[in-house]
Amino acid sequence: MRVRVRGVDLEYETFGSAGDPPMVLIMGFAQQLIAWADSFCQQLAARRFHVVRFDNRDIGLSTKFDSAPRPNIPAILGGDKTTVAYAIDDMADDTAGLIEELGFVSAHMVGLSMGGMIAQSLAIRHPARVKSLTSIMSTTGEPKVGYAKPEVISLMTRRPPADRDGNIELGLEVWRALRSPGFPFDEPRVRDRITRAFDRCHHPAGVSRQFAAILSQSDRTERLREVRVPVAVIHGAEDPLIHVSGGEATARAIPGAKLLVVPGMGHDLPEDLWPLIIDTIAENAGRAP
């Protein structure tokens, strides 16, 4: 299904009863809506939520911004944003429009990694659209927290191979680096997800523009102090991509936020952790008026 928001087509799917409270899942950098596993969404829906997952702009089956200039990453890191096609705030506005176009007044928001950045911006820019917020493995935009290991960034920014098999193998190498060391790595499941994503939509140019949006994001720390909805912050103690300090800073910035640091968790969602994460999401949503 698809909805048009501010000139952007957003592809989305739903789980559960339309009569239940809406919960919108925002996926992270370079990941399509299918990165939210069907069974994960179904388990949330079984908690009596109407679950919505969607493709962010420039990924999956949503609108691509191919007319924009190619991001100049060194220039962006130096403060020159002229080649940044859009901002995290624009993606937050997309999400607010999605909530409105689907006929919801507000929704429980769950954001993962870049999706957490988008969800935080949404809570700041469109507070009336947010009933509760769960920010998973994300950060505030403050450069001194939530930093990545250099070798992980080097791997993730490697030029992808031209062939399908090479792309899948590179994807596996990335997820092995991001994995949660304290939990089993389900390589067949991860390979299947990477393969399905490649066949659904392989669009590296959009990935580079999303990366530019992340690099150019503003520090949300002060504005996050204005957030007044129930907030849960979940972060892996062993996260190699967004250091746990990013989650800790998020929880410090938001009044009343509850922080859950998970030992052995990296920058992925191993199935063994689903019960804990789903319980935390549902309990946080239950604190909403």
Instruction: Tell whether the model's pLDDT for residue 8 goes beyond 90.
Output: yes
Tell me the average pLDDT across 74-100. Answer: 97
pLDDT score at 160:
87
Q: Which of 233, 234, 241, 231 is nearest to 266 (CA)?
A: 241
Tell me the average pLDDT across 213-220. Answer: 98
Instruction: Tell whether the model's pLDDT for residue 115 goes beyond 90.
Output: yes
Number of Cβ within 10 Å of residue 225's Cβ equals: 13
Report the interhelical angle of 88-101 vs 114-125 (nearest 10°).
Answer: 70
Label residue 257 by pLDDT band (50, 70, 90): very high
Q: Which domains does the chain have, with CATH numbers?
A: 2-286 (3.40.50.1820)
Report which secondary-structure segment, H or E, holds 109. strand 107-112
C-alpha to C-alpha distances, 104 to 19, 76, 97, 129, 211, nearest whole angstrom: 11, 36, 10, 8, 30
Report which secondary-structure segment, H or E, holds 11. strand 8-15
